């Protein structure tokens, strides 16, 4: 998947100092291709952002890497009830 570049919210539209940041978003292996529930995650040294792939400009959750690792481990242990 290609990097997604976003202009910083602190950058204006006047052509001055602008900063863009990139994230290498990847779709969860549990998300299907049918347009249903799709989750994407990206990793940085300090944060693991999570978003809805159908709304990439919408809200995101941010976890510390340790909290994300704990969550993924709990999912793999099937600690969350099914649908």
Chain segment 14-68, per-residue pLDDT in tens: 666 665 566 777 887 766 666 666 888 887 778 888 888 888 888 888 899 999 9
Q: The whole model's pTM is what?
A: 0.62
Q: Which DSSP symbol is given to 21?
A: E
């Amino acid at each position: 998947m290609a990097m997604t570049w976003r202009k910083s919210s602190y950058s204006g539209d006047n052509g001055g100092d602008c900063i863009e940041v990139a994230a290498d978003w990847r779709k969860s292996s549990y998300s299907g291709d049918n347009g249903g529930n799709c989750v994407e995650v990206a990793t940085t040294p300090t944060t693991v952002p999570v978003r809805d792939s159908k709304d990439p400009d919408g809200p995101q959750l941010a976890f510390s890497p340790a909290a994300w690792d704990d969550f993924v481990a709990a999912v793999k242990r099937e600690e969350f009830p099914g649908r």
